[in-house]
Structure 1
């Protein structure tokens, strides 16, 4: 099959780029062709493309793209000239031009849309006026016209049904996956701590994600302040790029004199990210909304006990396996969970062991990639 993924394939976008990377790696092994079409702003850092695939960057067209995400005449022109060369057009996300453009051009490819959590109640309420406009113009109609809507879990199933007002026949649950083998053998402990002046006696809490309000930083920061007052050896690492909430984070740190205890280290990738996971005592993501958090899976595969909300994209699996401390979405609840994990080693060990089993049972990329390929085959038209 000839497959085209459409996504803002940059480091800043986070999980979706990693999901495409891992899935593409597996698909290429089976002899399929994969291209990645990515609208981008000059200066953005592109995510690496797997060897054997082709990455096609297209400049966003400003100032329109400042209001209508990913609008790119260059991308549209590429599709117009090349869309007939593909069997599958896989669009990642909604609300943006990349998920509309393939519907505007005649072709025989099968169209796939992955929701990536963007119909969650919290996500829909964010910039609601823009989404209301897009909904009125086309969004509901094109979801109904897609050959396949990929969702990751039953929560997303409910989100789609609520949005459309019916359950579309073209919707299927296929979870995202990750390369479990990459996180089995982590770097030696102590490397990350040494780089950032964290002693072996300190309890290191790791947050990995964009610095965005939806990640629950407004809950985590006051929760950590409460934890630090009771456990003065605790330190919080915030690893991720600014996505609208860094200035508020820095202001909270200043006001509460936490400069020595809360460290902003920017986005961590590859070996450095694994060094951080190797040294972490606890991983935290009290998110209001996630499509499917690869960061949580990475932590769980690395055997780091985790505190998360049930909105990370696979809350049903977490509940089934009792794989993490599921926090209510308030700072007191987050603080209670952090203290429980940091003060109860037996509980923390049980959490991380159950979480590892959950990931290996359900989310290894070799299994998940084949599930999605089978769905592609069912809808392929040529």
Structure 2
């Protein structure tokens, strides 16, 4: 099969780019052709491309792209010229121009949507008027025309049914996957702490995601401030690109004189990212909304205990395996979670072990990538 993924394929986008990378790697090993079509803005850092795949970057059109996300005349022209060369068009996310553009050309190539958590209650309330307008103009119609709607969990399945008002027959639930072996051989302990001046005597709490309010930073920061008053032997590391919340985070740190207790280290990639996981005593993500958090899976594959909300995309698995400390979405809940986990090393070890077992059993990339390829083959005209 010849597969085209459409996504803003950058480090800043986070999970979806990693998902495309891992699934593409597996598809290439099975002899399929995979390309990635990505709208970009100046300064975007493209995510690595698996050997054998091709990345086509299209500049976003200035001005219009601020109103209609990722609008790109170049992307439209690419599809008009080349869409007939593909057997599957896989659109990642909705509400952006890349979700509309494949339908603007005269073609019958099957379209696949992966929702990536963008239909849950929190996401729908963000920029609500724009999403209501897009829904009215075309978004529901496009989902109805898709050959396949891919969701990552049963919560997202319910979100799609509520949004459309019916359960489409082409809806499938396939989780994200991980290449577990990437996180079993980590850099030596102390590497990250040395680079960023964090004492070995202090506990390290790691937040590694986009600095966006939906990640629960409005809960985490005051919860940590309260916790650190009685436990100054703990450092919170905020690792991730700014996505609208860095200025508020910096202001909170300054107002509460937390410069020694909270460190913003920017986006981490490759070896230094793994070094952060190797040195972390706890990974935290009290998110309001996730399609399926790759960052949490990465932490669990690295055997880091986690403090997360059940909205990270696989809450039912976390409950079944008791694989994380689950926090309610309140400041008090996050503070209590910090106390429960950081005061009990045996508890941290136990939830980390159960999480590693869960990830191995259910989220190995070879298993989930095969499920997606099987669904492609059902709808591909090449079969």
Aligned to 2:108: 108
The answer as to 2:218 corresponding to 1:218 is: yes
Write the distance in 1 (CA, Å) between the matches of 2:255 and 2:273: 29
Aligned counterparts, 1:40-119, within 5 A: 40-119=40-119
- Gaps spanning 5+ residues in structure 2: where? none
Counterpart-to-counterpart distance in 2, 1:19 and 1:127: 25
* 1:134 Cα deviation after fit: 0.1
- Map of 2:208 onto structure 1: 208
Answer yes or no: is the 8 Å Cα contact 1:108–1:381 preserved in 2. Answer: no
SS at match of 1:160: helix
The superposition leaves residues 206-239 of structure 1 with CA deviations (integer Å, 9 ceiling, x where unpaired) of 0000110000000000110111112110100000
Output the CA distance in 2 between the equivalents of 1:253 and 1:180. Answer: 35
Cα deviation, residue 262, structure 1 = 0.1
**In the aligned structure 2, how far is the partner of 1:180 from the partner of 1:67?**
39
Q: Secondary structure at the match of 2:312?
A: coil
2:354 is aligned to: 354
Deviates further, 12-21 or 104-113:
104-113
Instruction: Tell me if the contact between 1:87 and 1:108 (Cα under 8 Å) persists in the aligned partners.
Output: no
Matches within 5 A, 1:135-284: 135-284=135-284
Q: Any stretches of 5+ residues in structure 1 without a counterpart? A: none
Deviation at 1:108, TM superposition (A): 2.9
RMSD: 0.7
Secondary structure of 1:36's partner?
strand
CA positional deviation for 1:106? 1.8
Cα separation, 1, equivalents of 2:283 and 2:156: 24
The separation in 2 between residues aligned to 1:337 and 1:351, in whole angstroms, is 13
Q: Distance in 1 between matches of 2:244 and 2:187?
A: 32
Task: Specify the alignment match of 1:345 in structure 2.
Answer: 345
Which stretches of structure 1, 4 residues or more, deviate above 6 A after TM superposition?
Answer: none
- 1:179-206 CA-to-partner distances (Å, cap 9, x unmatched) read 1110011111001011111111100000
Report the Cα offset of residue 349 of structure 1. Answer: 0.9
Query: 1:104: Cα distance to partner?
Result: 1.5
Normalising by structure 1, we get a TM-score of 0.99
User: In 1, Cα distance between the equivalents of 2:61 and 2:256?
Assistant: 42
SS of residue matched to 1:62:
coil
Compute the displacement of 1:321 (Å): 0.8
Counterpart for residue 300 of structure 1: 300
For residues 293 and 268 of structure 2, the distance between their equivalents in structure 1, rounded to whole angstroms, comes to 15
Distance 1:305 1:247 in 2: 28
TM-score for the superposition, normalised by structure 2: 0.99
**How far did 1:43 drift?**
2.1
Deviation of 1:381 (Å): 2.1
